[in-house]
Amino acid sequence: MTSFPQEASDLLSPLRELAKLPAFPPVLGQPVRSAATLLLVRDGPVNEGLQVMALQRSSSLRSFAGFYAFPGGKLAPVDQKLAETFCFGQVAAETAENAAFAVAAIRETAEEIGWLVAISAFAGDTADRLLSQDEQTSLLEDEQTLPRLLQSDKKLIHLSQLRFVGRWIGPHSQPATFDTRFYITFWRGGNEPVRVMAEETAAAHWVSPKRLIEAIGAGRLLAAPPTLAMLEGLSQYSNASRCAATLSVPDPSLNPSQMNPQERNQI
């Protein structure tokens, strides 16, 4: 475990302890939302090491306003269609999960920062694609935009470029409202600009997990338990490609029946 100054560790401890408490049964009549999140990593400067793309949620949002998180959002009907018709390969470390979750993580990342990742011609090289502003806006307004873009580009989503990291149900110690699958992939682009939509996201940038943990521990930034857990898992790596190939961060509050075999092996 990465060590931090004592004052930082004291502030991080409550979040770590909260992560161990399971979510309560959902409120009657309020369905638990299925969601997916993408950890996008790259090798940063020599003095920085591994970096992850992190977002700060808008202060105007009703939940987790101003919190740091990663690109992601709820599952949409189009994700199942995309999984069935515009994907090939299999997500690493994923055995029982629906590929639509991985697709949702990719689609939400494209909507939130304008980057379409892990796409390729069938059996060809995998690349990441910068969306135009019009394409990103269209993606936000019409969920059928992504199938049209892939068809126009003659590209598919290469699921083997993603790794399943863990399933988290939360918020912890509150009635469950979300059931999220986390994935990771290596960024293959360069220093392309990030374009965020201000309604949901205040900022997005590459950051060292260790630096972000220190800021959260010092009380300068906000994060939910799953985000801290992902950051602490990422902070154990100095190399992004190795991290993308091996990272596993299961929800410590879940019982084994709620985990896939890969997660159960981490207990």
Query: Rounded to the nearest 5 degrees, what angle is found at the Cα of 192, between the Cα atoms of 191 and 197?
Result: 130
Residue 38 lies in a domain: yes
Residue 265 lies in a domain: no
Per-residue pLDDT at 123: 63
CB 94 within 8 A of CB 182: no
Total of domains in the chain: 1
Residue 1 lies in a domain: no
Q: Please give the sequence-ordered ranges of beta strands (E in DSSP) within the chain, or none if there are none.
A: 33-43, 50-57, 67-69, 72-74, 87-88, 115-120, 126-130, 156-158, 163-170, 178-186, 201-207, 222-223
**Alpha carbon of residue 249 to chain centroid:** 12
Q: What is the pLDDT along the chain (267 residues), one digit of tens a residue?
A: 455 444 455 789 999 999 999 999 998 888 899 999 999 999 998 888 999 999 998 877 777 788 999 999 999 999 999 999 999 999 998 766 689 999 999 999 999 999 999 998 866 777 888 999 999 999 999 989 999 999 999 999 999 999 999 999 999 999 999 999 999 999 988 888 888 887 788 899 999 999 999 999 999 999 999 999 999 999 999 999 999 999 999 999 997 666 565 555 554
CB 104 within 8 A of CB 73: yes
Residue 231 lies in a domain: yes
Residue 12 lies in a domain: yes
Per-residue pLDDT at 52: 98
**pTM for the whole structure:** 0.91
Alpha-carbon radius of gyration of the chain: 18
Rounded to whole angstroms, the Cα distance separating 174 from 3 reads 29
Query: Rounded to the nearest 5 degrees, what angle is found at the Cα of 244, between the Cα atoms of 218 and 216?
Result: 5
Q: Exposed, middle or buried: residue 131 (CB in 10 Å: 0-12, 13-18, 19+)?
A: buried
Determine the structural domain holding residue 40 and report its residue range: 6-259
Going by C-alpha positions, the residue among 203, 223, 220 that lies closest to residue 18 is 223
**Which CATH number do you get for residue 29?**
3.90.79.10
